[in-house]
């Protein structure tokens, strides 16, 4: 039986998953809001150890995002990078895209402990700015920090990241 076309692009190679995580800078978080979904784009930090992925984000300590995750911590997320059109010549169905993406779901929670906030913000700035910064508890006291403990995710690529088949 043939593998569905979309499934052939799923990436399981942890090195490539890390490349996608490092190349992306924005996470889109989908949070349940009544009958709809509220999607928030924001920068992020992450850890990926032994197949376990956790994202970190920050912002003001109050607002719609924070209110919604208190009501329902289950979220969806998406990151992507490198979208480029791959020319299919004269056959429109041969066109494709070169990209890397990770899509999944997990539980988002607010981080209250200032020491943990310091570690998270150090991680986030390393991911975003590729520099080491130090944070003190006083610096993060008024900052809203959250983490997404990922329960499932799929990494997908269209030609940009190649995995050995």
pLDDT in tens, 50-60: 999 999 999 98
Q: What is the pLDDT of residue 84?
A: 80
What pLDDT does 94 receive?
A: 84
Mean pLDDT of 63-67: 92
Neighbouring-strand partners of residue 8? none
Can you give the pLDDT at residue 3? 44
- Domain borders along the chain are 5-157
Where would I find the H helices in 61-142? 64-71, 114-129, 137-140
CB of 144 closer than 8 Å to CB of 124: no
Task: Give the chain's mean pLDDT.
Answer: 89
Buried b (16+ CB within 10 A) or exposed e, 86-121: eeeeeeeeeeeeebbbbebebebeebeebeebbbbb
CATH 3.30.70.141 fits 5-157, yes or no: no
């Amino acid at each position: 039986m043939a593998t569905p076309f979309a499934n052939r692009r799923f990436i399981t190679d942890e090195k490539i998953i890390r490349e996608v995580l490092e190349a992306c800078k924005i996470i889109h978080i989908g949070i349940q809001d009544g009958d709809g979904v509220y999607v928030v784009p924001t920068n992020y930090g992450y850890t990926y150890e032994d197949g376990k992925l956790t994202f970190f984000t920050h912002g003001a300590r109050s607002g719609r995002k924070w209110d919604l995750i208190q009501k329902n911590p289950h979220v969806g997320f998406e990151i992507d990078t490198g979208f480029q059109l791959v020319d299919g010549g004269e056959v429109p169905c041969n066109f494709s895209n070169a990209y890397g993406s990770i899509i999944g779901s997990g539980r988002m929670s607010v981080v209250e402990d200032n020491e943990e906030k310091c570690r998270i913000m150090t991680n986030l700035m390393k991911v975003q700015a590729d520099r080491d910064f130090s944070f003190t508890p006083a610096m993060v006291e008024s900052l809203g920090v959250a983490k997404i403990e990922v329960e499932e995710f799929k990494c997908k690529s269209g030609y940009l990241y190649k995995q050995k088949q």
